[in-house]
Structure 1
């Protein structure tokens, strides 16, 4: 029986021309963001928001090289997983090329009969990993899907390793785990995302005697999102005389616009204005052996099962 791994992610615009189509697909997904309007208005509203926001964020993408590295890094992760597992590994994106529907055809042509699918979201949310699972099931009825891998020991080790590198030359560090935000109504309806983020952070900080907290970044649109926000938390920490701030993007495993621009540029300026002397954003090494091992283990468990 021919086996295959499938890595699924939301994707990102690899160049400036892809920004608007990516945002339109993203905001059209009512399972991801429900704007509270009738269903037939979701796509027109998504088009309007994508049109306005694409112009707003284009300079940010220009500042990080003209596009998001998300797809490139996802393909690199897949290549490393394939080498480690010896199983052909594909990559499909929900909202940008390579679109999952096209990759599904490639996999069928390859003859994949047993499929282990995993999203690059370690923490489960209806809107992220849940959307990936939903779309995988559209094309592969019998695919086995990893729901959550936020407590995988190698994933935890990967975070701890990077944190330790960033705090080793500090005197009185404070760690801020900045997770991608979600609409608040999702959590109120039973979404486990916040709980899982806290579980990851608890495992990472076990035995590390450093003060820390969790905040949420990347709010979009007019609805209520998770709190406290990363921006307000940084301002608050500045008032509390925190002078060495270590920021780890806990819900991310590779660099995105949210890390390379939002955290590295916008929030660094917020920290400087708040009186924080050292602002250290922990880099995300997506090729690290522990991260690749975590993803590979999760896929192998499904194929063995």
Structure 2
């Protein structure tokens, strides 16, 4: 018997929590400072000992970088807020509306910023979800993205007396459904251009070279994605890495240097795609579409196109339905 006064507890439902990196709440210096303080304090993101790193972060970076980053965010901010948050929300809503797997609760969260992983996991547990798939939307595994999203979820579970059963979405960098969705998206974007690119650059988010040396598979996953997408498209791609930060050696070649090199070699028309991002965000819309264009044209190029991420497009949603449905096997009806 349930003890007198004990509240009814809902249970028996399945949850899917889409997770992406994060975003400030507004394109302001104060909001960006709060976001960067959380993001750059993650030991998975910056592996410098805190006694060395925190004085640099608090004394220099958080007093200089927020204003510059806030200006960059203001260039891509939408009526729905941050592009990353708006698109991740749209992806979750589209999956939930499809009602593919019966009574499955689909929600979304940000690793840094709002809505937090802890907040949404607690809400899903309160809604009766006792089986939850944590789905970090990073095609290529990296400890600074996939692992830290899972870390945050596990930390929430550690504080729960009655934990839900949990699965995590594996990386899908070489999944045929993902490569097929990229192929369809890139071909549709290329067909809509008013010029024919002479080269296509596949730009992935950069990581310090040290992460590769320590055994992180991210670099290998990126290279395999680029190779498989090139084979699917039937044309060469140049893989490159963007968003360098600090003085450490980062994965190469760098995207900005690659764009300048192509222009110097006589390539006048280029397209850039970002296969490592599941949704367009600051790093794609400002760093690539705006600054990448400026860099290429300044170096002598004449035509530049940024090809959008999968976002909530039909190819992208079909891919998510495929890979998430597969991970729900045994929990939900996935036929």
Offset, 1:159: 1.4
Distance 1:190 1:214 in 2: 20
1:108 maps to which residue? 125
Query: Does the alignment pair 1:127 with 2:144?
Result: yes
Is 1:220 equivalent to 2:245 in the alignment? yes
Which range moves more in the overlay, 280-289 or 23-32? 280-289
Match of 1:76 among 90, 93, 100: 90
- Quote how far apart the aligned CAs of 1:205 are: 1.6
Equivalent residues, number = 303
Among 197, 200, 222, which residue is 1:175 paired with?
200
- Structure 2: distance between partners of 1:33 and 1:231: 23
Matched, 1:190 2:228: no
**Structure 1 runs not aligned, ≥5 long:** none
Aligned with 2:133: secondary structure? strand
Give the superposition deviation at 1:207.
4.8
Q: Is contact 1:248-1:282 (8 Å) kept?
A: yes
Q: Counterpart of 1:146?
A: 169
Residue 62 of structure 2 corresponds to 50
Deviation at 1:41? 4.2
Cα shift readout 1:242-262 (whole Å, capped 9, x = no counterpart) = 111010012112111111111
Q: Residues 88-140 of structure 1: CA distance to partner in whole angstroms, max 9, x if unpaired?
A: 11212121110112112212211211111111111101111111122222223
Shift of 1:52: 1.6
State the match for 1:237 in structure 2: 262
Comparing 108-117 with 201-210, which one deviates more in the overlay? 201-210
TM norm structure 1: 0.92
Separation (CA, whole Å) in 2 of partners of 1:210 and 1:239? 21
Distance 1:267 1:26 in 2: 24
Q: Does structure 2 retain, via aligned residues, the 8 Å contact 1:114–1:303?
A: no
Superposed CA offset, 1:6-45 (max 9, x none): 11122111412421111110100011122x3x33344443
Instruction: Give the unaligned 5+ runs of structure 2.
Output: 1-11, 158-162, 331-335
Instruction: Provide the TM-score with structure 2 as the length reference.
Output: 0.85
CA distance in 2, matches of 1:286, 1:216: 20
Secondary structure of the residue that 2:138 maps to in structure 1? coil
| Greater displacement, 82-91 / 143-152 | 82-91
Match of 1:258 among 267, 283, 286: 283
How big is the shift at 1:303? 2.2
Is the 2:205–2:276 contact (alpha carbons within 8 Å) kept by the matching residues of 1? yes
